[in-house]
Amino acid sequence: MSGPTGTNGRKLASLRELPQAIEPAHDLWPGIESRLAALPPEASAAQGAKPAYRRALRLRWLAAAAMVACVAVGVWIGRSLLPGGPVGGAPPIAASRPAAIGLGPTAFDAAYVSDPRYERQRRALVRALQERLAALPPPARAKVSASLAAVEKAKKDLEQALGQDPGNALLQELLINTYQDEMRVLTDVHEASDSGREI
Amino acid sequence: MAHAQAEETRVDWESALVQRARGGDQRAFERLYREHAGRVYGLCLRMTRDAQLAEDCTQDTFINAWRALGKFETRSSLSTWLHRIAVNVTLAKRRKSGPVEPLPEEEEGSAAEWALETPVEVQELESAIGALPEGARDALVLHALYGYSHGEAAEMLGIAEGTCKAQLHRARRLLRERLHIEVN
């Protein structure tokens, strides 16, 4: 093993005195440079140049995934849990959303999630959901739980991101959408149980 | 005071280079390579005891660093970050080339200064370190030579802190036997 240059013959009183740097026998940069040139563009360091943009993109996908999961559960409740499908009082998914959900993502919308009435309604729905979940067959329980877990994760990530960038309109919009998605799942399950049919 | 200011300036300069490298500037990345290559190669060489393998590990370390620069937190030390990558690369290459030696039982380690009872020539000391078994040598190099704490060295090597201490205890005992002097 080649030692650090210019240190041969020198005596040391401690291991800590050994030089940390050892120069390679030849310049390694040309080899590194040619390998960097051969890397695909997506492996470039420049891909990490816009972390905020990438985070927003990831969160957008996360919110979209949560929404898809919610819609899937809604459709599944309509088609599978209710015998004969969404007949009579069972409204289509879009109609089951709370009135405020139909509005665009404005500052007024942002306020409704901190409204005590919203919080009361949410708590009641969550309580009812817990009761219904306990009675559901395992596959049904797993689907509803997975959907709500996806929504919960999206909410947490978005809230964390908003904590770092409170003025970001895109994040605000995504958060409102996610709250709406959660309410949609809760009301869908609630309405299905209120219809008096077995889930 | 002057040293602290110089260190601060170096870190500022380094984070500016990191920012430029993140933007795809290979010249900035080359400057970072020039600054850190010696310490990275020194670590790889001491862990592998093979100049060619150490060169490969050093190159892989900088390639991986280039790929992961976007994840590097500029508040932390670039040197430590590169060392972590270098340790991972070296361990992975070693795993490919042969079986991993069994870990010793955990035992109490002491806060050694790694002082030598009688001064020893650099080459002799490097040879004695190079002759240590892999696990003991890895722990010794990271802790005694590069100044990482027991916890940091253990984390980098993917072992328990107690195991790292035990490896250091073993390294000290073997060095004592090979150099015929006390290592405190």
Q: What is the ipTM of this complex?
A: 0.81
Mean pLDDT calculated for residue range A132-139: 73
Q: Which of A50-64, B3-17, B58-72 has the lowest mean pLDDT?
A: A50-64
Does B34 contact A at CB distance below 8 Å?
A: yes
Residue B108, pLDDT score: 42
Cα dist from B122 to A142, B12, B127, B156, whole Å: 64, 34, 9, 26
Q: What is the pLDDT of residue A150?
A: 78
What's chain A's average pLDDT? 65
Mean pLDDT confidence for B4-28: 80
B51 to A25: CB separation less than 8 angstroms, yes or no: yes
What is the spatial distance between Cα B157 and Cα B89, in angstroms, rounded to a whole number? 11
Summarised one tens digit per residue, pLDDT across range B99-111 is 555 555 544 445 5
Name the least confident of A85-89, B74-78, B173-177.
Answer: A85-89
Does A5 have pLDDT greater than 60?
Answer: no
Label residue A85 by pLDDT band (50, 70, 90): very low
User: Which residues in chain A are closer than 8 Å to B140, comparing Cβ atoms?
Assistant: 15
Measure the CA–CA gap between B57 and B92, rounded to whole angstroms: 10
CA distance B71 to chain A (A): 7
- For range A119-138, the mean pLDDT: 74
Interface test with A, best of B67, B73, B168 (most A CBs within 10 A): B67
**Across the strands, what pairs with B176?**
none
Interchain CB contact of B113 with A (< 8 Å) = yes
Across A85-94, average pLDDT:
41
Average pLDDT across chain B, whole number? 86
